[in-house]
Amino acid sequence: MTKWTPTHEAPEPLEGPVVPTIVGGTILWFVLFLVQLPFYGWFDDHGHTWWVWTCLAGAGLGLIGIWYVRGRDAALKRDAAAREAQDPQGAQADRPTA
């Protein structure tokens, strides 16, 4: 069997509002946890307590995600500012025109 090799380059990753997306997801997980909390007895009786704890884990991991993407966003902005300060004319020439 031959190894598969791509015939074209991979596209650039899409950049979007990463921080608000992660914050929104974290809030959603926490709200789902709070909504299920009053029904903990029912979940326990039916063996579904993992639903409650999954929502709490999603909120906790979301907090780590917020910390990570805020740091990443700040690093990208610092890098862009450093590139701009290094060569103000060249930075404009690198951007594609629409």
CA distances from 55 to 23, 34, 85, 93 (A): 15, 9, 44, 47
Q: What is the pLDDT of residue 61?
A: 98
Average pLDDT in the chain: 88
CB 63 within 8 Å of CB 30: no
pLDDT band with cut points at 50, 70 and 90 for residue 11: confident
Q: How far apart are CA 31 and CA 39, in angstroms?
A: 14
pLDDT reading at 57 higher than 60: yes
What does pTM read for this prediction?
Answer: 0.71
